[in-house]
Amino acid sequence: MYNAVVNVTLKKSVLDPQGQTVLHALESLGFKDAKKVRVGKYFEVAIDAKDHKSAEDRIKAMCDQLLINPVIEEYTYDLKEAR
């Protein structure tokens, strides 16, 4: 069994209205050092796979087919064997 952690954010080229609003809220709280906020999504997926390579193929396929919308989002993932 493998555990995948997927982080999804809007592409750099896509304006993030949620992130901007959070940034403004941070500024109004006095966090003047906050300069940029991007809001994203987080998935934890447990994958039944025989080895690291096949788990990696599966999580990529899941991201590409459902978890993210490639028109506006991009993702990174971290994959570890479950203990």
Residues 19-58 as x/- pattern, contact with other proteins by CB under 8 A: --x-------------------------------------
Choose between 7 and 54: whose C-beta lies nearer to other proteins. 7
Q: Using the rule CB under 8 A, which residue among 13, 32, 35, 36 binds other proteins?
A: 13
First-to-last alpha carbon distance for the chain, in angstroms, is 8
Please spell the DSSP secondary structure of 8-40, one letter per residue. Answer: EEE-TTS--HHHHHHHHHHHHTT-TT------E
Pick the stretch among 26-34, 46-54, 55-63, 68-76 that binds other proteins (CB under 8 A).
68-76
CB 5 within 8 A of CB 77: yes
